Chains A and B, each alone.
Chain A
């Protein structure tokens, strides 16, 4: 069984990502360089990422995992192996009739696969993936594997050292690992911190992330100063953990994944009692200046997530960290807020719901063809590239569907969209905007203090 993806497959992924992100050829070379390094040998550590989950729904990591898993030629997909391990009775890739039939299975398979992957590597020093994926699994999977596993699922491009949604270790076992990565044990001693979920600024007790004790009985958070002091064995709030990680010298940047981590999102909606706020606002209130890149979306498209991480890794040199250009709401302008040269938002500019002259024709009711602007569609003040990128991007870079879609036409040329697929026909919810889900509109976007809630359909 072969772990390595081919150079061709890898370049296809890079090219698809770069084209989707509008990167130049020069940028593409840098991106390839940054992402290819960890592919050279399984025993080399990949760039470290710590993923902290606060007031979240797990939609953000699931969104990212789906993208990783749907990647064609993905080295982690092996139905034979998974059947042997779990008795799942899955069809092998060759038996899959077509891509659409295979996609959900790949997602399911790979979620399990990811959990096994680096688990072994982290526990058995020197073990390579080719060992892991050899036919003889007997000596590789110790019975206590899941107990001993601390860290890391492989996306192939980064090593995710901590993510409570997918990592197998629980309790005090992974805490020591988190501390070591935080204190410089990651690749080059640095890590990118990804946060999903809002931060309960009113009271940290609304969210605990782990207990302050590792598997040796020692405290994980020691001392205090730039972060609150936590007693040995006491639960660590998401607020404290975020400050602890963000003030690490090794933290080269924070990606606020999703609208909750960016602006508060649903937990920060009007009427909430937890004071849920975005990572940047929270850190600013604590006087912590670690750069934060907002990747809003509910959930964000995986490409939006990959972009800032790849940008930091590709463009930075030691001692000269580079962050993608960002707009007034802290979003990468390459993904959000693109200039269209005309008076409408990038969203409406690319929206397919226009006649042949490019003029939107209003839909009379939901379900009709045409522009849904009068039916609550928030595309009028949304800056995402959703009409171009879509959602549920498949192996070949085409979108299966997206929230609005087109009626009676193919919204994404070359995609699987036909007269039925690709037509969600729901008005855009404006999920990447700071005022989601209170929909106050552009004039006071980001104003969470207003008590007035206009509602989705009434704005």
Chain B
């Protein structure tokens, strides 16, 4: 059994970490559990609050 942590995962738009757990099933090490973590937070929803609704199409695409 082993754990593999990949941080950061690159070649994508954003920040991503991956934690994988492996176990030996008698033949080889197989992945038994994977956790993805998005490790960046901006709170776009908070920023969108209390604004003119017409601002939304200007702000929301910039995620």
> Chain A: residues with CB nearer than 8 A to chain B?
53-55, 57-59, 115, 164-171, 174, 198, 200, 206-211, 235, 238, 265-267, 269-274, 276, 298, 429, 437, 453, 455-458
Contacts and interface: CB of A to CB of B under 8 A. Distances in A.
A55 B8 contact: no
15 contacts: A54-B40, A58-B13, A164-B10, A171-B8, A200-B41, A206-B42, A208-B7, A208-B40, A235-B7, A269-B59, A271-B51, A272-B42, A429-B58, A455-B55, A457-B54
B52 A455 contact: yes
Interface in B3-22: 5-15, 17
Interface residues of B, number: 31
Contacts of A206: 40-42
B35 interface: no
Given A273-B46, A453-B50, A456-B52, 9 more contacts: A55-B40, A58-B13, A167-B11, A171-B5, A198-B42, A206-B41, A238-B40, A271-B48, A272-B46
Interface of B: 5-15, 17, 39-44, 46-52, 54-55, 58-59, 62-63
Contacts of A54: 40
Interface of B is mostly: loop
Ranked 8 nearest A-B pairs via Cβ? A455-B52, A58-B13, A171-B6, A208-B39, A267-B42, A211-B7, A269-B47, A207-B40
Contacts of B10: 164-170, 174
A174 B52 CA distance: 43
Contacts of B59: 266, 269, 437
Given A57-B13, A437-B55, A437-B59, A210 B47 contact: no
Interface of A is mostly: loop
Nearest to B7: A211
A57 to B, nearest CB: 6
A270 B50 CA distance: 9
